[in-house]
Amino acid sequence: MEKDVIDLRDLILMIKEQKGVNANLALEFDCVIETDDVKPLVKVINYAINYINQLSDQPQQISLNTSMSGITIGFTTFTNMVDLPAINPQVNKALVAYNAVLEQKGESSKYTQLLIRFRK
């Protein structure tokens, strides 16, 4: 079966528009992956957007960057919350097919960030 080439910038723009997300975007061009099925990735991106949205009423920041080590999609928001909800373990299971992982970073009661890292 031939894999489809997915432009992550176009995918993020489509999801943002369909969800009506209040977000500031910083998206690099030419961030593409090959995959047999994009649906699980769409679900993970939706999950990340929903997770970040529940933490603050401020617009979130969505970034897309490429580097020597791979591609990263970042979802960031400022938050006053100290105890953040746990990340669903199914998320990283869904990302295995894309050679990717989801990481959570941040500083308690200041900001939080979810990073989806695609390794080369």
Q: Which domains does the chain have, with CATH numbers?
A: 4-119 (3.30.565.10)
The whole-number pLDDT of residue 97 equals: 94
What's the predicted TM-score (pTM) here? 0.94
16: helix, strand or coil: helix
Cβ contact 41:6 at 8 Å = yes
Burial class (CB in 10 A: 0-12, 13-18, 19+), 18: exposed
pLDDT digits (tens, 9 = 90+) for 29-59: 999 999 999 999 999 999 999 999 999 999 9
Tokens of 30: 């030419």
The whole-number pLDDT of residue 120 equals: 84
Cα–Cα distances in angstroms (integers) from residue 20 to residues 9, 16, 54, 66, in the given order: 16, 6, 15, 25
